[in-house]
Chain A
Amino acid sequence: MCGIVGIFLKDAKLEPELGSMLASMLCVMTDRGPDSAGFAIYGAGDAEHVKFSLRAAEGFDFQGLAHSLSLTSGGTPRVTVRATHAVLEVPAAHASEVRAALARHPDVALVGAGTRMEVFKEVGLPSAVATRFDLGTMRGTHGIGHTRMATESAVTTAGAHPFSTGDDQCLVHNGSLSNHNALRRALTREGIAFATENDSEVAAGYLTWRMKQGASLGAALEAGLKDLDGFFTFVVGTESGFGVLRDPIACKPAVMAETDRYVAFGSEYRALVDLPGIAKAKVFEPEPATVYFWDRAA
């Protein structure tokens, strides 16, 4: 039960302001989710490198971790530490090697990976979380965010959104799924790993599973309409775009705004009020059971 936001830029001139735009949207949604907050930003990156977003306890020695991961031909991975998180950048050729090494560090959680996506999430008020990770200064092409009011799973960082659904893919959710336990068991048999009891993580895992089987994100979302029971509004990010999907009953709120400079999503209009040119934006409500997708490549 939550507030969700997302923004996708069409105008590259806004890219330096992406973080500050997303931060303001996120903070307005505090009432909907005061327990924790998180966001994913799609910033600089290239196909030659993979970024690992990592989370560990306060004061964890990420530099030391990077050092211990020193690669035979790639040198020490580049590391950027932000509070409890760090982004580790490694040559793509060494990605699986680093992944395997990270698996041997139970005190470090891998919250997302991809060429451009960086994921940060933490318990606490959204404003505190945004400040902690310095979201306001981040730049990028698109991003999604989430404020959480924990329902049936615990208030922990692991339960915070976004949930990464595969390389450069992540999802935020507002609503409550009613068949996530059975689905989690079925997906676990299919080899999808889950870190929490959270229903939204199951939705993320479901999309990952569909896409592993070759479905496009759009097709995976379509299939989700049949297989995911309950109430949901999803906003998902990919390397090149972002999408929105609401369940057919569509009880959970959703508002979108589009101008020639950006497309933005908010659980409520309030989240969008500080965006540039909002007064003249086309403001609309996404239809239920309809996949919306904006792609930079398109």
Chain B
Amino acid sequence: MNAFTPDVTFDLAEAPLRELNAALHAATGDSNARRWRVLNPNGRHALAAGVDAPLTIEVEGHVGYYCAGMNQHAHIIVHGNAGVGVAENMMSGFVHVRGDASQAAGATAHGGLLLIDGNASARCGISMKGVDIIVKGSVGHMSAFMGQAGSLIVFGEAGEALGDSLYEAKLFVRGAVKSLGADCVEKEMRDAHKALIAEKLAAAGISGVDIGDFKRYGSARRLYNFHIDNVDAY
């Protein structure tokens, strides 16, 4: 177990998830219950979903679907793998998955920072609306599908159809991209973009990464207004 002195330790082998979430929702972050440790998550769903306070929550193990869903303000660390839709629709705060994340990580999230140490599978950042997502491993197919805003920074590779039907989300991938989706193109990496990556990495506490290795991908904006000659893309 990592070095961390919790104010509250909650063992899901002893009490139900509903009690944990209710307690997290009641916590304001002003009291002595600011630092939480959750034991035996065992793949349970919706763990620490809907938290709306500056709490630190360390989860000791693998979690199921929608961990940290709709998070606001909290700093949630998963010492394990995360199931489908980790930090889906997050508004603010910081979610850190120490292992791999399953499909739709950070889906539709509006804000905050999602850091995944391992790989994220298909549809990472789908319909992202302002979240910053950093994946130290690789991302699966259809990542950033319909991404509207925010940034996706991938240290490894990207699967097929990266950024399909992309709006204004900014994508940066260091490794190979299997294929680009409709209306997603490689774009010139300018200083402003390098500064953006540096800022996001610094926010995630990551240093020593050569930013020059990343390539930038964005919307060609050809689908922004319908034209019959683009019909193959629909």
Q: Ordered nearest first, which 3 A-B pairs have the shortest CB separation?
A: A269-B43, A270-B43, A273-B42
Size of interface on A: residues with Cβ below 8 Å to B = 17
Please name all residues of chain A whose beta carbon is closer than 8 Å to the beta carbon of B64 when the two chains form the complex. 268-270
- Asked, given contacts A268-B64, A269-B62, whether A255 binds B102 with beta carbons under 8 Å apart, the answer is yes
Which residue of A is nearest B42, CB measured? A273
B122 touches A270 (CB 8 A): no
Which residue of A is nearest B80, CB measured? A283
Kindly provide the distance from the CB of A30 to the nearest chain B CB, expressed in whole angstroms. 14
Question: Known pairs A268-B64, A269-B83. 9 more at Cβ < 8 A?
Answer: A248-B141, A250-B140, A250-B141, A253-B83, A255-B102, A268-B43, A270-B43, A270-B44, A287-B140
Kindly provide the distance from the CB of B14 to the nearest chain A CB, expressed in whole angstroms. 16
Q: Does A284 contact B (CB under 8 A)?
A: yes
Size of interface on B: residues with Cβ below 8 Å to A = 19
Q: Does A230 contact B (CB under 8 A)?
A: no
29 residue pairs of the A-B complex, CB under 8 angstroms, read A248-B141, A250-B103, A250-B140, A251-B103, A253-B65, A253-B83, A253-B102, A253-B103, A255-B81, A255-B83, A268-B43, A268-B65, A268-B83, A269-B42, A269-B63, A269-B83, A270-B42, A270-B44, A270-B64, A273-B43, A273-B62, A283-B62, A283-B81, A283-B100, A284-B100, A285-B100, A287-B140, A288-B122, A288-B140
Please name all residues of chain B whose beta carbon is closer than 8 Å to the beta carbon of A248 when the two chains form the complex. 141
Q: Which residues of B contact A (CB under 8 A)?
A: 42-44, 61-65, 81, 83-84, 99-100, 102-103, 121-122, 140-141
Kindly provide the distance from the CB of A33 to the nearest chain B CB, expressed in whole angstroms. 16
Please name all residues of chain A whose beta carbon is closer than 8 Å to the beta carbon of B102 when the two chains form the complex. 253, 255, 285
| Interface set, chain A 240-284, CB cutoff 8 A to B | 248, 250-251, 253, 255, 268-273, 279, 283-284
Please name all residues of chain A whose beta carbon is closer than 8 Å to the beta carbon of B63 when the two chains form the complex. 269
Please name all residues of chain A whose beta carbon is closer than 8 Å to the beta carbon of B65 when the two chains form the complex. 253, 268
Which residue of B is nearest A271, CB measured? B43
Please name all residues of chain A whose beta carbon is closer than 8 Å to the beta carbon of B43 when the two chains form the complex. 268-273
Please name all residues of chain A whose beta carbon is closer than 8 Å to the beta carbon of B140 when the two chains form the complex. 250, 287-288
Kindly provide the distance from the CB of A280 to the nearest chain B CB, expressed in whole angstroms. 12
Kindly provide the distance from the CB of A256 to the nearest chain B CB, expressed in whole angstroms. 11
